């Protein structure tokens, strides 16, 4: 199935993917992570796409730690052993309960303060809600904050940069 997905992606775009990021973190689950690594190494060798790791930047009893325990830690370790490019830390995990841009911004401030260099910060912005989307209400809230001067100022205060991989 992964080979077919990569074939379809490459046929449609004319290029291999820049990164691999399984929907709802599925690429880190036992069995899938080993298959993913094998396919990437066989298909691309040293030019394999960058892979998203979910090793949390902040530990605690929270959703980020649960992601790590559900396979994120093991995937991170295996990516390192295989010398596959990946982010060193992961952040931006929350309960989709910030009902205003300011509330989301407060969470963002905490993530930025505790993010070591190279941290991948997950977000789910959209300009409008999509019916049936479980996190649809949160998407415009995130979008509003990410487009705000407050976000630009927060990045500047923390000395953060947005980089394309």
- Could you tell me the pTM of the whole model? 0.79
Identify the helix (H) or strand (E) that includes residue 51: strand 50-51
The one-digit pLDDT tens for each residue of the chain (165 residues) are: 889 999 999 999 999 999 998 777 778 888 889 999 999 999 999 899 999 888 877 655 566 677 777 778 888 899 999 999 998 988 888 889 999 999 999 999 999 988 888 888 889 999 999 889 999 999 999 999 999 999 999 998 888 877 665
Question: How far is it, in rounded angstroms, from Cα 109 to Cα 101?
Answer: 12
Which spans in 24-165 are helix H?
32-44, 63-67, 73-81, 101-113, 138-146, 149-158
């Amino acid at each position: 199935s992964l080979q077919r997905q990569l074939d379809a992606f490459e046929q449609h775009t004319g290029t291999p993917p820049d990164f691999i990021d399984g929907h709802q973190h599925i690429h880190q689950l036992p069995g899938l992570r080993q298959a993913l690594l094998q396919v990437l190494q066989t298909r691309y060798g040293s030019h394999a796409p960058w892979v998203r790791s979910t090793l949390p930047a902040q530990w605690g009893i929270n959703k980020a730690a649960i992601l790590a325990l559900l396979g994120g830690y093991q995937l991170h370790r295996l990516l390192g052993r295989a010398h596959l490019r990946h982010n060193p830390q992961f952040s931006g995990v929350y309960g989709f309960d910030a009902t205003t841009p300011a509330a989301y911004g407060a969470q963002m401030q905490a993530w930025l303060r505790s993010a070591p260099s190279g941290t991948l910060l997950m977000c789910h912005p959209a300009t409008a809600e999509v019916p049936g989307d479980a996190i649809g209400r949160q998407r415009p809230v995130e979008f509003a904050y990410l487009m705000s001067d407050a976000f630009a100022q927060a990045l500047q205060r923390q000395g953060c940069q947005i980089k394309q991989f």
